[in-house]
């Protein structure tokens, strides 16, 4: 028996000519109803372009895209890029994947079109994708980590997508790994909202901090200092991003930076500071927020939330983001500023080493 969480194929993938994909999909739905599957609902709220290397695990990627398509109803395209130096070619397969939200509900089904592409003819690939995507629906592009960020198809596809999701920032990576993401954002421009899968991991930290402020609505005005302590002996991308997000949410603007023995110290308005440090003996990262009200001082510690490791869940969180909010943009501006401060080789005005 199929469970609500288990996607299953409505039919076996069928190889078709690229020019006949739309007709093959119509045949698929007609056949499903003719066989007595009356309670089949063809669902789509977006177009999903998942692009991966032909060398990636075929079964694993197919299962992932099928799960994404039924959890977030889509017309899904799984594009496998093969040898760039081979003669240009496109081969296609069509099917649909379904699930039942409850045992008594009708089947919700989403189409899956798989394209195997060789050669480097980006315009031909884009012509296929643009002719087949459902009009009037947004398009999300997922660029798999198995592919180079310099591939010519990435900017071509990004120019036609509202959402671009990449996997540039490694889990638990050092803070400078954020630089590759920021550079990619600058290269792709502002047409699409660009995020990294890793940002879904940061959401657990953001929720923990938000719960603190929800419990104490006036607390934000009384914050005097924020200390971010990174485990594993290095300042991580995750914790740098979280600090930047907190500063953006509080509307704190950095006025000076200084390297102390403890780590990077950032001064904001009078009486407001942050310290970003690494502690080799610390098992899990943590944030300490100090509140001052009159002569009273209160400290609150937030321990590292449990990790979310399922790629499917991380991507589904990203599908909820179709445009960056002002805090998100301000966070990336601060990330850039803090990275530059960390990389300063000398002592310019406003920056010092102690």
* 205 and 151 assigned to the same domain: no
* 14 and 155 assigned to the same domain: yes
pLDDT digits 0-9 by tens, 156-202: 999 999 999 999 998 888 999 999 999 999 999 867 789 999 888 88
Give the pair of three-digit tokens for residue 128.
């296929």
Q: Which domain-ending residue is among 138, 161, 184?
A: 161
Closest CA to 276 of 198, 347, 341: 341
| 110 in a structural domain | yes
| 193 in a structural domain | no
Q: Which CATH number goes with the domain that contains 278?
A: 3.30.360
Handedness of CA 43, 49, 55, 57 (dihedral sign): negative
Domain count along the chain: 2
| 191 in a structural domain | no
Q: Which domain-ending residue is among 161, 192, 226?
A: 161
Starting at the edge strand that comes first in sequence, how are the strands of the sheet with 296-303 ordered? 296-303, 286-293, 223-230, 273-278, 264-267, 256-259, 351-353
| 347 in a structural domain | yes
Give, rounded to a whole angstrom, the gap between the first and last alpha carbons of the chain.
Answer: 66
| 32 in a structural domain | yes
* 206 and 349 assigned to the same domain: yes
* 208 and 150 assigned to the same domain: no
* 131 and 244 assigned to the same domain: no
- Per-residue burial over 178-216, b if 16 or more Cβ lie within 10 Å, else e, is bbbbeebbeebeeebbbbbbbbbbbbebbeebeeebeee
| Arithmetic mean of pLDDT over the chain | 87
Q: Which domain-ending residue is among 143, 161, 179?
A: 161
* 114 and 249 assigned to the same domain: no
pLDDT digits 0-9 by tens, 55-99: 888 889 999 999 999 989 999 999 999 988 889 899 999 999 998
Cβ of 348: how many Cβ atoms within 10 Å? 9
Cβ of 241: how many Cβ atoms within 10 Å? 26
pLDDT digits 0-9 by tens, 209-257: 888 878 777 777 889 999 999 987 789 999 999 999 999 999 999 999 9
| 323 in a structural domain | yes
What band does 142 get if pLDDT is binned at 50, 70 and 90? very high
Identify the DSSP state of 220: G
| 137 in a structural domain | yes
| 170 in a structural domain | no
* 151 and 14 assigned to the same domain: yes
* 149 and 247 assigned to the same domain: no
What band does 294 get if pLDDT is binned at 50, 70 and 90? low
* 148 and 211 assigned to the same domain: no
36: pLDDT strictly greater than 90: no
* 116 and 216 assigned to the same domain: no
* 155 and 206 assigned to the same domain: no
pTM score, two decimals? 0.88
User: Are the beta carbons of 72 and 319 closer than 8 angstroms?
Assistant: yes
* 345 and 229 assigned to the same domain: yes
Give the range of the structural domain holding residue 93, as residue numbers without chain letter. 8-161
């Amino acid at each position: 028996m199929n469970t609500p969480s288990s996607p299953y194929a409505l039919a076996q993938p069928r190889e078709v000519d690229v020019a006949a994909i739309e007709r093959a999909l119509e045949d698929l739905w007609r056949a499903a109803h003719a066989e007595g599957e009356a309670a089949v609902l063809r669902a789509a709220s977006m177009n999903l372009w998942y692009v991966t290397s032909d060398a990636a695990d075929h079964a694993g990627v197919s299962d992932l895209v099928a799960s994404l398509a039924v959890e977030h109803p889509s017309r899904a395209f799984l594009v496998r890029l093969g040898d760039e130096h081979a003669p240009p070619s496109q081969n296609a397969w069509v099917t649909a994947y379904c699930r039942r939200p409850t045992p008594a509900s009708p089947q919700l089904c989403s189409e899956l079109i798989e394209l195997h592409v060789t050669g480097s003819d980006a315009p031909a690939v884009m012509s296929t994708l643009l002719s087949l995507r459902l009009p009037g629906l947004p398009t999300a592009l997922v660029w798999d980590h198995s592919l180079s960020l310099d591939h010519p198809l990435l900017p071509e596809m990004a120019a036609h997508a509202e959402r671009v999701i990449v996997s540039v920032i490694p889990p638990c990576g050092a803070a400078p790994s954020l630089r590759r993401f920021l550079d990619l954002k600058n290269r792709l421009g502002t047409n699409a909202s660009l995020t990294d899968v890793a940002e879904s991991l940061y959401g657990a930290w953001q929720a923990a901090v938000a719960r603190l402020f929800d419990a104490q609505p006036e607390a934000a005005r009384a914050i005097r200092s924020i200390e971010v302590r990174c485990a594993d002996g290095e300042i991580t991308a995750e914790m740098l991003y979280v600090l930047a997000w907190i500063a953006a949410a509080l509307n704190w603007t950095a006025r000076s930076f200084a390297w102390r023995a403890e780590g990077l110290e950032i001064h904001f308005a009078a009486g407001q500071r942050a310290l970003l440090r690494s502690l080799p003996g610390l098992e899990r990262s943590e944030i300490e927020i100090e509140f001052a009200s009159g002569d009273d001082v209160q400290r609150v510690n937030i321990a590292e939330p449990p990790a979310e490791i399922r790629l499917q869940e991380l991507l589904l969180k990203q599908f909820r983001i179709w445009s960056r909010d002002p805090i998100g943009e301000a966070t990336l501006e601060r990330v850039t500023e803090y990275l530059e401060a960390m990389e300063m080789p000398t002592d310019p005005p406003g920056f010092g080493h102690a």
